[in-house]
Amino acid sequence: MKSVIRHAKLEGMTTITRTLGRTGPQVSALGLGCMGMSALYGDADRDEAVATIHAALEAGVTLLDTGDFYGMGHNELLIGEALRTAPPALREQALTSVKFGALRGPDGSWAGYDGRPAAVKNFASYSLQRLGVDHIDVYRIARVDPDVPIEETVGAIAELVEQGYVRHIGLSEAGAQTIRRAAATAPISDLQIEYGLITRGVERSILPTTRELGISITAYGVLSRGLISGHFSADRRLGGDDFRAHSPRFQGDNLRHNLALVEALRKIAEAKGVSVAQLAIAWVLAQGEDIVPLVGARTRERLTESLGALDVVLDADDLAAIEAAVPADAAAGERYPAAAMEHLDSER
């Protein structure tokens, strides 16, 4: 899990890469989380989304993260379109990371998770079709199904690996004991979990476990859904279809408290001549070469800002100042509404 410099296929481009786990693929040090291009953050511009994916690939980003339930398949179709219309050299370097298992109704409602082996293979067949690919690079259940042993779910993905439809097995929001059981069943490349300056629960038992087992972290929510991006304001109005309108961290006194943390970060960022978002992303990058942050940029402008974090060097004094400004557990409010928190094996 060593950080290296490689030259991308496009002439003149250099990208920092990291390897997912002991047996996983080499990926760009920053991945692109594509969910917001289809769902949960209000309206998105399809043309801009495709252009952003193309721009990410051109910049050397190789890891594209999605879920088959993002927009009920819309996000996979979007990525499929972007890959289909990208130059061959860019298309060939793209790696897909797909979450499956979330059950939804026609009205967008959530109905739990399905990790049964037959369901795993069914979900995969539809994802392959929507993405327009012959294999998925990293495949993982979005939330551990409490009614199905993780050994059965991971075992089904392992069969897909043997058949060539999947390259590597990942996990998502799994707790330490579940990670151990999964790793005893088949090689696990990475655990996808929320990790950022104001979401640091992973540090208690999960991160030590993944490091012991040689499993990487692909970190989502590094900007806490825009909360610590430096661009969110207390007077911003969110639509009912925006996840943040229902997130505890974006409500009332919680929001005011959390935005005060952002202002403390802004002072540090300005002193270094970088943006708040770049500082927050750089902090996650600095936590270890086994961690790959996923940035949820929906536009080329935000993508460019996020990629600037790769040039930010944080020394010991910088890290100490950031820790003083935003200590662990400094955030107000849970990271999900109560009903969603119940589905997180990582929080048990």
The answer to whether residue 70 is catalytic is yes
- Is residue 127 within 8 Å of 136, Cβ to Cβ? yes
Average pLDDT of the segment spanning 79-92: 96
Q: Is the pLDDT of residue 1 over 70?
A: no
pLDDT of residue 8: 35
**Higher-scoring residue by pLDDT: 158, 108:** 158
- Is residue 188 within 8 Å of 171, Cβ to Cβ? yes
Q: Transcribe 288-308 into DSSP letters.
A: -TTEEEEE---SHHHHHHHHG
pLDDT of residue 3: 38
Among 70, 113, 139, 336, the active-site one is: 70
pLDDT of residue 246: 84
Residue-wise pLDDT for 41-77, tens only, equals 777 899 999 999 999 999 999 999 999 999 999 999 9
**Higher-scoring residue by pLDDT: 311, 236:** 311
What's the whole-number average pLDDT of the chain? 92
Q: Give the separation between CA 257 and CA 147, rounded to whole angstroms.
A: 38
Q: What are phi and psi of 99, to 5 degrees?
A: -100, 145
pLDDT of residue 248: 92
Banded model confidence at residue 289, pLDDT cuts 50, 70, 90: very high
Residue whose token pair is 């379109």? 81
pLDDT of residue 2: 39
Q: Give the separation between CA 19 and CA 21, rounded to whole angstroms.
A: 6
Banded model confidence at residue 14, pLDDT cuts 50, 70, 90: very low
pLDDT of residue 296: 93
- Reduced DSSP (H G I as helix, E B as strand, rest coil) percent helix, strand, coil of the chain, to 5: 45, 20, 40
pLDDT of residue 92: 95
pLDDT of residue 235: 83
State both tokens at 29: 């040090």
Residue-wise pLDDT for 187-245, tens only, equals 999 999 999 999 999 999 999 999 999 999 999 999 999 999 999 888 888 877 787 88
Residue-wise pLDDT for 119-157, tens only, equals 999 999 999 999 999 999 999 999 999 999 999 999 999
Long-range contact pairs involving 6-14 (C-beta distance under 8 Å, separation at least 24): 8/60, 8/93, 9/89, 9/90, 9/92, 9/93, 10/58, 10/60, 10/89, 10/90, 13/58, 13/59, 13/60, 14/60
Residue-wise pLDDT for 165-201, tens only, equals 999 999 999 999 999 999 999 999 999 999 999 999 9
pLDDT of residue 99: 98
Strand partners, 104: 110
* Alpha carbon 207 to its chain's center: 16
| Count of other CB atoms within 10 angstroms of residue 152 | 14
Q: Give the separation between CA 334 and CA 321, rounded to whole angstroms.
A: 24
Banded model confidence at residue 307, pLDDT cuts 50, 70, 90: very high
Q: What are phi and psi of 237, to 5 degrees?
A: -100, 130
